[in-house]
Amino acid sequence: MSGKIVLCFPRIDLEKEHHHLPLSTLSLAAPLERMGIDYEIYDERVDEPSRLDTLLEDAWMVGVTMFTGYQTHCGYKILKHVRETHPRIITVAGGPHVSALAVQTIEDDHVDYAVAGFGEAPFYALVAELLEHGDLNGHVIPGLYRKDNSELIFLPTDKKFAGDNWYQLPYHKINLESYINEATKRVMYVSHYGCPAKCTFCATPEFRKWTPKPIDLVRQDLANLHDLYPFEELCFFDATLFTRKERVFDIIKLLDAYPNIKWLADARAVELNKYSTEELIEVRNRDAELSFLVVGLETGSQYIAEEVMKKGLRHLEMFKTVAYRMDRAGIKMVSGLIFGIPGETVEDLKKTIDYIWEIREIHPAFRLSSTFFRPLPGTELYDLLDLKGFIQPNTLAEWAEVGAESHFEYNTWMDIPWMEDGQKDEYRKVYEEFRNQHGEILM
């Protein structure tokens, strides 16, 4: 094999002006960088389309990541373009959408290989085999799906990320300034993979095993990133940062090296509930300023939280406790709501309206964003709606077509296809009442 590997990050949203760093693509590139394999990164959000065509002239493989929705639409267009203009190039598809629907993905004629789960190990194993032997010679790689004379060949993905695949992120391969909002000068960083939660609406089973990056690697990554671009705000883009208390304090101690920055992160109420007010004050009182924490709420109905979303027992009770402690600690709190989830009723929505008033009284600076539920492949609620006939796409091409419109919209009404019309009309009236009562805290 001669030439380059081109790693593509398709657009996620049509209208966003500022973008987070392509962290998943950088992570996939890290082992290639370490082994001296020639590659380039094409990010459709910030690069001119002509750059892709230039890169394809000298490429032997193209990798495309896809999240269900608009990114799948854009990623599929890239795969089609590669096949139509350079049919000799090997195409590899990966990302959350492919992880959940790997068989469906590999059945598409535009895809030569599909990678499910954490992509670093199977992708690098594929590249190494092809560079050394020209083909896989019957070798079966966990997490890699391929076709051989119409026969599907694969081994299930490893559920835990292989620790020997942690490498320093190659930030030098992208133009950092093209991602930066000058108003915030914010960058994003992931300090671990996976999430221990079992929410029925989020992620896929392949990504649930929580695996932290070595703290020395986090230190190196942040130092390298700051050397290349002196960021002023750091967002930990982890599913949840606060899983292990000792590690949290190790990480925020690293931020002492950047005393003039601000930082923010996501957390779960069940985790923050284990932190005392004094410990939260300690988290806040560092040289680097804590802007706010995002704490998942999703609903104010106990039934929906515990039985439908499976947020865990006493989720709403713990959320109140956390709101109280964060207010006492002087930490701003941001959260989110998901409307229209299967099984939610008008009464559940009314309970959410009342619950938000309780939180606002406990934590006056509390802020929210909201969206309507959309089923993600690989989740329990997706499977439920599929059984009831609400999931229409059956091929990668069909998913790309329905993904032409952004998968999520925020703080605005979206249709609820699985709700009966009469109930939907009443639900919408109560939703508008939610906006009337709490619209001032939506962000």
- pLDDT tens by residue, 318-329: 999 999 999 999
**Which residues is 213 bridged to in the sheet?**
none
Residue 429 in any domain: the answer is yes
Residue 266 in any domain: the answer is yes
Same domain, 184 and 147: no
Residue 396 in any domain: the answer is no
For 339-360, write each residue's pLDDT tens digit. Answer: 999 999 999 999 999 999 999 9
Radius of gyration of the chain from Cα atoms? 22
The pLDDT of residue 158 is above 90: no
Q: Which amino acid is at 423?
A: Q
* CB of 53 closer than 8 Å to CB of 215: no
Residue 153 confidence (pLDDT): 87
Residue 382 in any domain: the answer is no
Residue 381 in any domain: the answer is no
Same domain, 310 and 355: yes
* CB of 263 closer than 8 Å to CB of 291: yes
Same domain, 132 and 213: no
Work out whether the CA dihedral 375, 376, 379, 382 comes out positive or negative. positive
Residue 284 in any domain: the answer is yes
Query: Around 283, how many Cα atoms within 13 Å sit in the side-chain half-sphere?
Result: 29
- Looking up residue 259, the CATH number of its domain turns out to be 3.80.30.20
Grade residue 14 by pLDDT with cuts at 50, 70 and 90: confident
Nearest to 373 by CA among 342, 348, 346: 342
For 28-52, write each residue's pLDDT tens digit. Answer: 999 999 999 999 999 999 999 999 9
- 95: containing domain: 4-154
Same domain, 149 and 257: no
Residue whose structure tokens are 């068989």: 103
Average pLDDT over residues 291-320: 97
192-193 and 211-212 beta bridge pairing: antiparallel
Same domain, 52 and 114: yes
Residue 69 in any domain: the answer is yes
Q: With b meaning 16 or more CB within 10 Å and e meaning fewer, what string describes 392-404?
A: ebeebeebbeebe
For 406-419, write each residue's pLDDT tens digit. Answer: 777 899 999 999 99
Domains identified in the chain, total number: 2
Same domain, 194 and 148: no
State how far the Cα of 1 lies from the Cα of 16, in Å rounded to an integer: 37
Grade residue 205 by pLDDT with cuts at 50, 70 and 90: low
| Coil/strand/helix, residue 404 | coil
Numbers of helices and strands, H then E, in the chain: 16, 15
Same domain, 196 and 325: yes
Same domain, 123 and 189: no
113-115 and 144-148 beta bridge pairing: antiparallel
Residue 61 in any domain: the answer is yes
* CB of 236 closer than 8 Å to CB of 264: yes
